[in-house]
Amino acid sequence: MDLAYMAELPQKEFAERRKQLLTKMRTNSALLLFSEIEKRRNNDCTFPFRQDSYFWYLTGFNEPNAALLFVKTEQSEKAILFLRPRDPLLETWNGRRLGVERAPQTLEVNEAYSIDEFAIHLPKITENLTALYHVPALHLWGDKLLSESAVNFTEILDWRPIISEMRLIKSPNEIRLMQQAGQISALAHIKAMQETRPHRFEYEIEGEILHEFNRHGARFASYNSIVAGGDNACILHYTENDQPLKDGDLVLVDAGCEFAMYAGDITRTFPVNGKFSQAQREIYSLVLKAQKRAIELLVPGSSIKQVNDEVIRIKVQGLVELGILQGDVDELIEQKAYRQFYMHGLGHWLGLDVHDVGEYGEERSRTLAVGMVITVEPGLYISEEAEVPEQYKGIGVRIEDNLLMTEYGNKILTAAVPKEIEEIENLMGKSREFLKM
């Protein structure tokens, strides 16, 4: 499916971001960001290139070995790009380059120079400036270029707090792309449910998910997909995906696509054979109850911490009723007895990175605001070794959706994929009937 018409932000949006950043800089300062570089996979082969998210946010430029320099004085404000020059021979082998000559007009920057001449131009451009916004050790290749440039500043400042806060509130164009990332991710999870059956390998389901991403215009996943059958679901970041799926087990699928650089992030848990057992239903229903309540409460003016406190109470009450925890609910919460079964947070920022940037406040107490996008992902993980009633051992459940904070409350960007037990069983049952035809 060709979605190129909607997979790009207008260049004026990047220009507006640069303008906004310049207003936040001190007078008589420079700010320097470096792009990502190609990463070696093995011998002379590289991983597919993925631009640094901060660099992309301010340029929309998807080439390696580049630097973006902002200069602010009382007389002027400039955005200057250093990039690879055109090279017909190398471009024949490794792909086209924008080149220095075309960069100013194409990317709407003030000036452009060859990255090979960085050490020559930087001292001249930044002469008499006092402060440099720079993050050491973020890109070591860039640190080396900077050290070779023989520049001196009286003060080094961190630009991350400024740009991270800008990235935290999504523009209407960003929201459009994130809606598409959520929709494509949802379609892939539906496909995973339809294609799952006993004795298929976890990586086969991963392959179905990646194919569905590609089919709808998202070439890459936004993170390494988790397809965890049975007790593997109790490993939070399980990515081996190399085990056969067993009849009678649940499978936890945590996967999201990257569409136009923006991340989707969905988790669903469903039965390998298409039918929940009684014990699986009980744990799943408890997690779903907690997630539904969280979605009701996660609105502008609330906080992730505030809502997570409510989620914890729902879970502890439910675990006591099931006999998995014993004791007084308030005391168990005080003792954090739930941590053996729920050891992660309720959600995180989402955007260009799946774990996106921006301050959370102490214990994620920051007040949510219109334009933020977050995940909501309660879970329960009861390992085979847990001292619980036998029927609950080896059950891991997480249910995750993506929420956009709006002036009316929230909008679920990933609602297209089922999560009610009856909906999941009906979807999986119909796919099995189709296979028998």
282 is an active site residue: no
Question: Would residue 189 show up in a list of annotated catalytic residues for this protein?
Answer: no
* 237 counts as catalytic: yes
Tens digits of residue pLDDT in 251-263:
999 999 999 999 9
* pLDDT over threshold 60, residue 364: yes
Stated pTM of the model: 0.96
Phi-psi region of 20 (alpha: psi -120 to 50; beta: other; left: phi over 0): alpha
Q: Give the closest residue to 368 by CA, choosing from 311, 295, 412, 304.
A: 304
* Radius of gyration from C-alpha coordinates of the chain: 25
Q: Report pLDDT digits (tens) over 76-135.
A: 999 999 999 999 999 999 999 999 999 999 999 999 999 999 999 999 999 999 999 999
Candidates 63, 174, 249, 265; catalytic one:
265
Catalytic residue at 54?
Answer: no
Q: Among 212, 258, 400, 401, which one carries the catalytic annotation?
A: 400
Is 41 tagged catalytic? no
Q: Which CATH number fits domain 4-167: 3.20.20.150, 3.40.30.10, 3.40.350.10, 3.30.420.40?
A: 3.40.350.10
CA distance 357 to 247: 40
Catalytic residue among 355, 384, 420, 423: 355
What secondary structure letter does DSSP report for 67? Answer: E
| Mean per-residue pLDDT of the chain | 96
What beta strand segments (E) does 119-263 contain?
131-133, 155-157, 220-221, 226-229, 250-255, 257-259, 262-263
C-alpha 400/C-alpha 413 separation (Å) is 11
Closest by Cα among 379, 374, 417, 375 to 398: 379
pLDDT on residue 399: 99
Contact partners, residue 102, CB within 8 Å, separation at least 6:
none
What token pair was written down for 92? 């024949």
The backbone torsions φ and ψ at residue 396, rounded to the nearest 5 degrees and listed phi first, read -125, 125
Q: Determine which one of 254, 353, 356, 401 is catalytic.
A: 254
Instruction: Establish whether 5 is a catalytic residue.
Output: no
CA atoms within 13 A on the CB side of 296: 8
What are the distances in angstroms from CA 21 to CA 8, 285, 351? Answer: 21, 46, 19
Q: Which helix (H) or strand (E) holds 281?
A: helix 278-297
Residue 139 annotated in active site: no
Nearest to 287 by CA among 381, 363, 350, 193: 381
CATH 1.20.1440.130 describes domain 169-435: no
What is the pLDDT confidence band of residue 5, given thresholds at 50, 70 and 90? very low
CA gap 175, 266 in Å, rounded: 17
Delimit the domains of the chain by residue range.
4-167, 169-435
Reply yes or no on whether 216 is catalytic. no
Separation between Cα atoms, residue 125 and residue 73, nearest integer Å: 11
Residues of the chain with pLDDT > 90: what percent? 96
Q: Look at the alpha carbons of 148, 149, 154, 157 in this order and tell me if their dihedral is positive or negative.
A: negative
Active-site residue 265, yes or no? Answer: yes
Q: Evaluate whether 255 touches 298 at the Cβ level (below 8 Å).
A: no
